[in-house]
Structure 1
Amino acid sequence: MSIIQLRKIVQERLERPEWSIRYNKEEEKIRIEDNETKKGVSLALKPLLAKYEKRKEEAVTEIVHYVESAIAAMAQEHNLSGNEKRIFPVIRSTSFPTETTSGKKLFYEEHTAETRIYYCLDLGSTYVLIDEDMVEKANLTSNKVKEMALFNIRSLQSQPKEDTVAGNKFYFVNSNDGYDASRILDNSLLERMNKSKEGVLAVAVPHQDVLIFADIVNDTGYDVLGQMVFQFYSQGKIPITALPFIYENGELDPTFILAQRKPKN
């Protein structure tokens, strides 16, 4: 299937009299906005195409539900006061917008050369990104919001699934709660994985819904990791970065891996 064919399928499923849909050919993205609030979401078609080729109609149904939930959430008035346990950090790429389409400044901070930390209010099936006005209305300081978000992310369970390739161990956190990549901010989890490593510890957040750890003990491990992260990145609903990080001395260092050969398995 081509991007054009997928675009037609998605647009037909998202047609609503109260919404407007625009296509950005250069970026291969669809923008869906509520006609009244002028708020909406953008869908990157390349990652969706990769998911569609694997899951067909299920992938389209999932994205329709995501758009419906997100636009409905944006139409509501949200208050941080009384919702402190529902504030979480979310990881995004450094190319992610720092303002809403209506011009409000999003509440965020720098993380690495590849990533930023944004903050959101969890609404159950979706969430809304926190802007600076929401923080001000709640009479909260920036540090307080960050403290609450980090406390809440540490409270989530993290049970990595393990796989071994050519002596290298790979661990995947994929709980599908919207905050898998955010767990990279849990220093206790990073340190726990670091203490158990036998070689070099690499960490990756290719998209929002997965966190990958790799205990690299040989060159094949780097090859596998590089290709694995790129594949996850190309298939994610909200891609973050195709570059993994080397974790050393409490720091995350983005690392470009040039795979020398394709692993047999």
Structure 2
Amino acid sequence: MELQAFRKKIEKKLERDGWTIRYDYKEGTLRIEDEAINKGVTLALKPLLAKWERKEYAAVEEAIRHVEIGLASMAKSVTLSGNEKRIFPVIRAASFPAETKDGKQLVFDEHTAETRIYYAVDLGETYTLIDQNLVEESGMTVSRLKEMAQFNVRSLPQPIKQDKVAGNDFYFLSAKDGYDASRILDQSLLEKMAAKVNGELAVAIPHQDALIFADLKNDTGYDVLAQMALQFFGQGRVPVTALPFMVEEGALEPVFILAQKKPKGPSQ
């Protein structure tokens, strides 16, 4: 299906009284706004079309549902007071905007060269990113906000499934709560995984809802992890980075920087 035909299909699904839909030809995105609150959601069509062509229709419907939930949450009055246990860190790409569409400065920290840490208040089916104004209106300091977020992410469950490929062990954390990638900020989890591996510990955070640990014992393991990260990156609703990282003393370093440290096989 061509992009313009797909665009019209999605626009029809999003038609609502009080909503306006604008198409950005250059970016290939739809901007859906609620006229009553003058706020909106941007939907990237190209990755969505790719999912449609792979017959991942449920993923397309989920994206549409995300728009509906997002606009509904924007219409609500959000406060941090009383929601202290619902504040979490969220991982985003380093290129993610530093401010909202209406010019409010988002609260964030640098994480790696590829990623940043933003902060969100959970609203049930969705969450809203926290800006400086919201912090001030709630009578809270930014440092206190970050402390609470770190404490809350450490309290989340850590369901992990293991798989073995070509002698390498891969661990997939998938709680499906919107904070899978955020768990990379739990230092105790990194320490637990570091104690578990026999080879070199690597990690991938390809999108918001994925966290992959790898116990790399041979060259093939690096290739498999890179392929996994790229595949997951293309499937996520909120992509982060397709670049895996090595974990060294609790710090994350891009794999390509440490490629020379690949363990040699028995025949080398």
Same fold (TM over 0.5): yes
Query: Is 74-83 or 6-15 further displaced after alignment?
Result: 6-15
Task: Compute the RMSD of aligned alpha carbons.
Answer: 1.6
Q: Show the counterpart of 1:123.
A: 123
Alignment of 1:177-196 (within 5 A): 177-196=177-196
Q: Show the counterpart of 1:71.
A: 71
Q: Show the counterpart of 1:151.
A: 151
For structure 2, list consecutive stretches of 5 or more residues without a partner in the other structure.
260-268
| Contact 1:162–1:172 (CA under 8 A) maintained in structure 2 | yes
Alignment of 1:69-218 (within 5 A): 69-218=69-218
Tell me the matched-pair count. Answer: 258
Deviation, structure 1 residue 57: 3.2
CA–CA separation in structure 1 for the residues paired with 2:27 and 2:169: 36
CA–CA separation in structure 1 for the residues paired with 2:175 and 2:91: 16
Answer yes or no: is 1:225 the counterpart of 2:211. no
Runs of 4+ in 1 over 6 A off after TM superposition: none
Q: Which amino acid aligns with 1:250?
A: G
CA–CA separation in structure 2 for the residues paired with 1:147 and 1:55: 42
For structure 1, list consecutive stretches of 5 or more residues without a partner in the other structure.
259-265
Q: Which amino acid aligns with 2:106?
A: L
| Contact 1:46–1:234 (CA under 8 A) maintained in structure 2 | no
- TM-score of the aligned structures, taking structure 2 as reference length: 0.91
Q: Show the counterpart of 1:24.
A: 24
3-state SS of paired residue (1:207)? coil
Deviation, structure 1 residue 237: 0.6
3-state SS of paired residue (2:256)? coil
Deviation, structure 1 residue 54: 4.2
Q: Show the counterpart of 1:245.
A: 245
Identity in percent: 59
| Contact 1:47–1:236 (CA under 8 A) maintained in structure 2 | no
Highest RCO, 1 vs 2 (Cα 8 Å, sep ≥ 6): 1
CA–CA separation in structure 2 for the residues paired with 1:128 and 1:46: 24
CA–CA separation in structure 2 for the residues paired with 1:234 and 1:4: 21
| Contact 2:51–2:57 (CA under 8 A) maintained in structure 1 | no
CA–CA separation in structure 1 for the residues paired with 2:220 and 2:162: 17
Deviation, structure 1 residue 2: 3.7
CA–CA separation in structure 1 for the residues paired with 2:144 and 2:250: 23
Label 1:57 to 1:234 Cα distance change in 2 as closer, same or farther (>3 A): closer
| Contact 1:198–1:217 (CA under 8 A) maintained in structure 2 | yes
CA–CA separation in structure 2 for the residues paired with 1:220 and 1:57: 33
CA offsets 1:154-210 (integer angstroms, 9 cap, x no match): 111111111111001111111211001111111111110111111111111111111
- TM-score of the aligned structures, taking structure 1 as reference length: 0.92
Deviation, structure 1 residue 73: 0.6
3-state SS of paired residue (1:139)? coil
